[in-house]
Amino acid sequence: MKRIRAMLVAACALTPVWALTAPAHAQGIPQNIPRKELVILENPEGTIKNAGWFNMWAINAGSQSNGLQQVALDTLWYIDPERGLDGSWDNSLAADKPVYNADYTEMRVKLRRGIFWSDGVEFTSADVKATVDIQVKNPAMRFSAVLANNVAEVQAPDAETVIFKLKKPNSRFHTNFTVRWGGIWILPKHVFEKVEDPVKFDFNKPVSLGAYTLHSYDPDGKWYIWQRREDWQRTTLARYGQPAPRYLAYVDPGPPDKRVIAQLNHELDVIHDIAPEGMFTLAKQGKSTRAWFKGFPYGHPDPTLPAVVFNTQTEHAKNRDVRWALTLLIDPKAVAMASYRGAATISAIAVPPTGVHPDAYHLPMDAWLKDYELDTGKRKIKPYDATVGKQIADSLRPSMGDQIPSDPNEIARAFGTGWWKTDAQAATELLERAGYKKQGNQWMGPDGKPFSIRLMVEGDLRPVMTRAGTMIVQQWRQFGIDAKVDVAQGTLLTRRAAGDFDAFIGWSVETWGGHNDLSYFMDSWHSQFVAEPGKPQPLRNWQRWSNPELDKLIEQTRTISFDDPKGIEIGKEYVKLMVREMPIIPLMAYNVFTAMDQTYWTGWPTSENPYANPVTNWGNSRYMFVKIKPTN
Amino acid sequence: MHGYLAYCLKRIGQFLLVVFIGVNLAYVITHATPIDPVEQSVSAVTSFSSTAPDAIAQMRESLQELYGLKGSRWDQYVTFWRRILVGDFGPSLSAFPTPVSALIARALPWTAGLLITSTLITWALGNLLGGLAGYYRKNRSLKLMGVLAMGIHPVPYYIVALALLVAFGFIWPILPIGGGSAMNLPQGWNWAFVSSVIKHSILPSLSLILLGLGSWFLGMRSLVSNIVTEDYVVYAEVAGVDSRRILTSYVMRNALVPQVTGLAMSLGAIFNGAVITEKVFGYPGLGSLLIDAVYAGDYSLVLGVTTVSILGVSICVLVIDLLYPILDPRVQVA
pLDDT of A18 > 60? The answer is no
> How many beta-carbon pairs below 8 A join chains A and B?
224
Provide the Cα torsion B232, B237, B238, B240; round to 10°. 130
User: Does an H or E element contain A353, and which?
Assistant: none
Q: Mean pLDDT, to the nearest integer, of A136-145? A: 91
Q: Look at residues A461, A470, A518, A468 and name the one whose alpha carbon lies nearest to residue A493.
A: A461
* Min Cα–Cα distance to chain A from B199, Å: 6
CA A107 to chain centre: 28
| The CATH number of domain B108-295, selected from 1.10.3720.10, 2.40.30.10, 3.30.300.30, 3.40.605.10 | 1.10.3720.10
Across chain A, mean pLDDT equals 93
Tell me the per-residue pLDDT of A492-550, one tens digit each, with 9 for 90 and over.
Answer: 888 999 999 999 999 999 999 999 999 999 999 999 999 999 888 888 899 999 999 99
Q: What ipTM was reported for this prediction? A: 0.84
Whether A30 and chain B come into contact, CB under 8 Å, resolves to yes
The mean-pLDDT minimum among A360-364, A442-446, B309-313 falls in: B309-313
Extents of the domains making up chain B: 108-295
Q: Which residues of B touch A264 (CB under 8 A)?
A: 170
pLDDT tier, A26 (very low <50, low <70, confident <90, very high otherwise): low
Model pLDDT for residues B288-298, shown as the tens digit of each residue:
899 888 888 88
Closest in B34, B183, B199 to A20, CB measured: B199
Do A389 and A420 form a contact (C-beta atoms < 8 A)? no
Residue among A457, A494, A487, A456 nearest B32 (CA): A494
Closest residue in A to B107 (Cα–Cα): A220
> Chain A: nearest CA to B304, how far in angstroms?
14
Q: Which residues of A115-148 are buried (b: 16+ CB within 10 A; e: fewer)?
A: bbbbeeeebbbbbbbbbbbbbbebbbbbbbbbbb
Give residue A10's pLDDT: 47
Q: Above 60 in pLDDT, residue A478?
A: yes
pTM of the model: 0.90
Share of chain A above pLDDT 70, in %: 96
pLDDT of amino acid A29 = 81
Which residue segments constitute the domains of chain A, with CATH numbers given?
Answer: 58-202 (3.90.76.10), 301-591 (3.10.105.10)
DSSP H/E element including A221: none
Position B324 scores a pLDDT of 79
- State yes or no: pLDDT of A1 exceeds 70: no
The model's confidence at residue A21, banded by pLDDT at 50, 70 and 90, is: very low
CB-CB neighbors (< 8 A) of A21 in chain B: 174-175, 199, 202
Tell whether the model's pLDDT for residue A22 goes beyond 50. no
| Top-confidence residue, A3 or B240 | B240
Residue A84 to residue B192: CA distance in whole angstroms: 44
Q: Per the CB < 8 Å rule, is B43 touching A523? A: no
pLDDT value of residue A52: 94
Residue B197, min C-alpha distance to chain A (Å): 10
Q: What digits encode the pLDDT tens for the residues A372-391?
A: 999 999 999 999 999 999 99
The whole-number average pLDDT for the span B187-205 is: 92
* A10 in reach of chain B (CB within 8 A): no
pLDDT tens for A161-206 read 999 999 999 999 999 999 999 999 999 999 999 999 999 999 999 9
Nearest to B41 among A60, A150, A519 (CB): A60
Q: Is A520 helix (H, G, I), strand (E, B) or coil?
A: helix
| Chain B residues within 8 A of A541 when measuring between CB atoms | 53
